[in-house]
């Protein structure tokens, strides 16, 4: 049964059918995006979420797409405990974070697992835009040496904490700062780059590509309309990679999806 079905009879039918079915549960915090016209009904919706999900203690609303370099969006606690810090568990790993001041998507759990399951022990892995660590920590647990870069100082603090919580301190090197500023200080070449680029940061691929060894693997995430994908693929291949696969990882706005490009750097 969908959330909107729980609210039928409580809200007018015309209102209930516009209630979003999709929301994320991150630890014990539920995060939902409301259309502006439903703002006055947000407390009723939050109550229905807590009734349905007994593990949820806080319901918060935020804008649909976190934007900007720090990838945070306006967030309002609607109901429950007035705290947005939580502990999230995913495939045996745990991540402490504050959903108000850091970016995190529970919807990418299976996609993250798909990527880190490909990592082999001994690889050197670069993870820019590392956030609180969900793309960086699992590769380290598989025996990789991971260089993680994160600009948001609050996210970087949680990243360091999560590296310790997951017992991979010796295998994750954390850099706090803008990717473009940090890369010149790194002399290593990497077997793999996992790049969950924020919205509008496609140029990061071309900055990071020289850091990847010939024959190395790149997992690059970008936000595009389906009609844009063929041109983007051609652009990437012109930069010296072979695109092995393209996966759509969910829609973030009408007609706009997050795409994962799995690529291999060609010898020049």
**Both tokens of residue 31?**
């995060």
Q: Are residues 177 and 246 in the same domain?
A: yes
What phi, psi does 108 have (nearest 5°)? Answer: -90, 10
| % of the chain with per-residue pLDDT over 90 | 69
Q: In a 10 Å sphere around its CB, with 0-12 CB exposed, 13-18 middle and 19+ buried, how is residue 254 labelled?
A: exposed
Pairing of strands 212-224, 190-195: parallel
- Cα–Cα dist 157/145, whole Å: 20
Query: Total structural domains in the chain?
Result: 2
Q: What is the DSSP letter of 266?
A: P
Dist. CA 206–CA 183, nearest whole Å: 12
112-163 pLDDT, tens digit each: 999 999 999 999 999 999 999 999 999 999 999 999 999 999 999 999 999 9
Helix, strand, coil abundance in the chain, percent, nearest 5: 30, 35, 35
Read off the pLDDT band of 11 (50, 70, 90). confident
Q: What angle do CA 146, 148, 150 make, to 5 degrees?
A: 175
In a domain, 89, yes or no: no
**CA-based torsion, 72, 78, 84, 88: positive or negative:** negative
| 17 is a domain residue | yes
Top-confidence residue, 245 or 19: 245
Q: Can you point out the beta strands (E) in the chain?
A: 24-26, 29-32, 58-62, 75-80, 85-90, 93-98, 124-127, 145-150, 172-176, 190-195, 212-224, 241-253, 256-265
For 75, the 3-state DSSP assignment is strand
Domain limits at 13? 3-83
Per-residue pLDDT of 64-73, as tens digits, reads 555 555 566 6
Q: Is residue 99 part of a domain?
A: no
Q: Which residue's structure tokens are 């790049």? A: 195
CA pair distance 15, 165, nearest whole angstrom: 43
Q: End of a domain among 52, 83, 114?
A: 83
Same domain, 246 and 121: yes
Mean pLDDT of 240-262: 94
Are 126 and 258 members of one domain?
Answer: yes
Residues 171-191 have pLDDT tens digits of 999 999 999 999 999 988 999
Read off the CATH number of the domain in which 25 is found. 3.30.300.110
Report the predicted TM-score, pTM, of the whole model to 2 decimal places: 0.90
Which percentage of the chain shows pLDDT scores above 70? 94
């Amino acid at each position: 049964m969908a959330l909107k079905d729980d609210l039928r009879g409580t809200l007018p039918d015309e209102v209930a059918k516009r209630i979003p079915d999709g929301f994320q549960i991150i630890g014990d915090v539920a995060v939902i995006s409301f259309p502006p016209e439903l703002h006055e009904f947000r407390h009723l919706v939050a109550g229905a979420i807590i009734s349905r999900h007994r593990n949820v203690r806080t319901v918060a609303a935020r804008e649909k797409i976190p934007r900007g370099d720090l990838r945070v969006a306006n967030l309002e606690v609607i109901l429950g405990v007035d705290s947005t810090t939580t502990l999230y568990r995913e495939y045996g790993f745990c991540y402490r974070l504050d959903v108000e001041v850091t970016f995190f998507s529970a919807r990418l759990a299976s996609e993250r697992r798909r990527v880190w399951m490909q990592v082999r022990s001994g690889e050197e892995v670069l993870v820019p835009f590392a956030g609180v660590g969900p793309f960086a920590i699992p590769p380290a647990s598989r025996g990789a040496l991971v260089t993680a870069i994160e600009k948001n100082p609050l996210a970087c603090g949680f990243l360091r904490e999560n590296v310790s919580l997951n017992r991979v301190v010796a295998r994750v090197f954390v850099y706090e700062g803008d990717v473009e500023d940090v890369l010149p200080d790194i002399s290593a070449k990497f077997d793999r780059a996992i790049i969950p680029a924020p919205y509008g940061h496609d140029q990061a691929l071309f900055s990071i590509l020289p850091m990847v060894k010939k024959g190395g693997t790149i997992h690059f995430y970008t936000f595009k309309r389906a009609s844009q994908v063929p041109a983007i693929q051609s652009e990437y291949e012109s930069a010296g990679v072979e695109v092995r696969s393209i996966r759509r990882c969910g829609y973030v706005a009408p007609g706009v999806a997050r795409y994962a490009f799995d690529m291999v750097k060609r010898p020049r």
